[in-house]
Each structure stands twice: as C-alpha cells, then as structure tokens.
Amino acid sequence: MYSEKLVADLEDKARKLRKNVIVSMGVGFAGHIGGSFSSADMVAALYFHKLRHDPEDKKMTDRDRFLLSKGHVAILQYSALAEAGYFPIEDLVNTKRIDSYLQGHPDVLKTPGIEAGTGSLGQGLSIGLGMAMGLKMDGLDSKVYVLMGDGEQQEGQIWEAAMAATVYNTDNLVGIVDCNKLQATGPICERFDAGDIKNKWESFGWNTIEINGHDMKEILWALDETDKKNGKPTVIIMNTVKGKGLSFAENVVSYHNGMLSKENYDKAMAELS
C-alpha cells in the first residue's frame, strides 16, 4: 500500500528528528528526550507526508493545523519545523536560551510554524476543537491534529473537549495519544491509572484506532483512515516506548526530563548517525 521508499524516507526523517532533539539539548541542559523520542515517528509522518502546510506561506488559509498539547516536548516540534524549512537548523542549539525564539514550550508569538501556545497540560484538545469548528464554519476542508500524552489523559479538560467534539460533529479533528506508559514521576499505572484509554475514547463517541506508534506503515494507514468522514472525530492511540531509538533512554523514567553528560551526548549522536 505504501512504497518502501516512502516508508524508508520517513523513517530516516524520524531518525533526523531524534538527532536534532539531542543537538537542541546539548550537554548539561535538561530536556524531554523520552516523550520526544516516543512521538518522533508520528511527527515525521505528519510534517513530511500528511500535513498540508508551506513554510513559505506559513499562514496559508487552508493549511492543516498541528497542535502539540504535550508542549513540554517542544524540542521535537522545533526539530520538525527546522527540517521542514521554517527556520535554520543551526538555530536549534539556542533552544531554551535566554532571548531565543525557541523556548521550553511552544510560543505562537515567537516561533514560526507554531499554531498555539501550549504546555499547560489538557488544554490542547480544547484549542484544537475550536480551530476545527472555525474551519468548518469557514467552509474549509483543513484538518486539525492534536498530539497528547497518555499521562495528560488525567486532565479533566481533555474529556470535556472530547465530549463536545462529538456533539458538534467535528470530523476534521484528529486526536493522537502517545501511550508510552511513563510520566514524570514513574509508571502511569502506579501514579494515576486511567485504565483502558481506547475504551474511554470510544465511549465518548470517537472513531478510535490503535497502532504501534513506531511502525511507519501503521502510522500512515492510521492517518489515512482519519480522512474517512462519518461525522465523528477520530483519535489514534499509539503504543510507544519512552525514549525509543536511544539505547540508554528507552523506558527510563529519568529521561522524561533529563540532562545528557558529554559521554551520553556523544553516544546518542553516534547511535543516531
């Protein structure tokens, strides 16, 4: 269904995004490696295949919108925006530096390609819902994609937006849940077990798709499935590994937001090269 070249090219993009994340962090600065790496494959598929967007016309009216509700992994979105040509890749080394336009959370006023300021967990889906409703009112066929964390599912506002989205038939809204099963303080099942996430979304009336979030063919299939309009929003539940692609960070909760030593920085760059 999908050419081997397309799949290989997107897998290579995901590797580059992971490498850019490491470059953005540098040595001795805290950064959200875990959730960036678990979402990198999906973000690569979105920015370099699925999304309708143009770095030369950043505000084109009929563009698709991507919202990073789990805004603490902004370094991943910056990596994608840089690779897509929104700003120089060389600027990634200034991430989180004072006066940089690449801050710790997405800033719609400072950073090219950002659609909304996010990072207060639980709010992204509400913003995306408003955008999706507005696009429908304007007669545009654009879509809104909102990437959330599985720990973020503990926020009540997520479920208020989920309920409203079905009431207003926003079939141009796509939720994506990164289920890496770890949050800042440990395993989700030991902190605030939300139970069967897929079943919950189905009970709120959403089209629900569950995939391996590191299988590019499954990711592409799921994104194409969201194009099928039946009057309901769609959510993609992607099962992932926190820190995927970095041997010493996979399933290690300390890399939710951790620092790299010079040794680990060099090891990461070697593994991702």
Tokens of 169: 């038939």
Closest residue by Cα to residue 70 from 30, 23, 34: 34
Residue 114: its pLDDT value, please? 98
Tokens of 46: 């979105």
Planar angle of CA 156, 224, 41, nearest 5 degrees? 70
Decide the pairing of beta strands 186-187 and 207-212: unpaired
Decide the pairing of beta strands 186-187 and 182-183: antiparallel
Distances (CA, A) of 46 to 35, 196, 202, 270: 16, 26, 23, 26
Cα-to-chain-centroid distance, residue 44 = 9
- Distance, in Å, from the CA atom of 199 to the CA atom of 197, rounded to the nearest integer, reads 5
- Distance, in Å, from the CA atom of 137 to the CA atom of 41, rounded to the nearest integer, reads 32
| Whether 82 contacts 91, CB under 8 Å | yes
What share of the chain in percent tops pLDDT 90? Answer: 96
* Helix or strand (DSSP H, E) at 131: helix 124-137
In this model, does residue 1 exceed pLDDT 90? no
Model confidence at 111, in pLDDT bands (50, 70, 90)?
Answer: very high
How confident is the model over 141-187, as pLDDT tens digits? Answer: 999 999 999 999 999 999 999 999 999 999 999 999 999 999 999 99
- The phi and psi torsions of 31 (rounded to 5 degrees) equal -155, 155
How many helices and strands, by DSSP H and E, does the chain display? 9, 7
**The dihedral sign for the CA sequence 197, 128, 204, 52:** negative
Average pLDDT, the chain: 96
Model confidence at 229, in pLDDT bands (50, 70, 90)?
Answer: confident
How confident is the model over 171-182, as pLDDT tens digits? Answer: 999 999 999 999
Q: Set out the domains of the chain in order of their start, with CATH numbers.
A: 4-272 (3.40.50.970)
In this model, does residue 194 exceed pLDDT 90? no
Cα-to-chain-centroid distance, residue 203 = 24
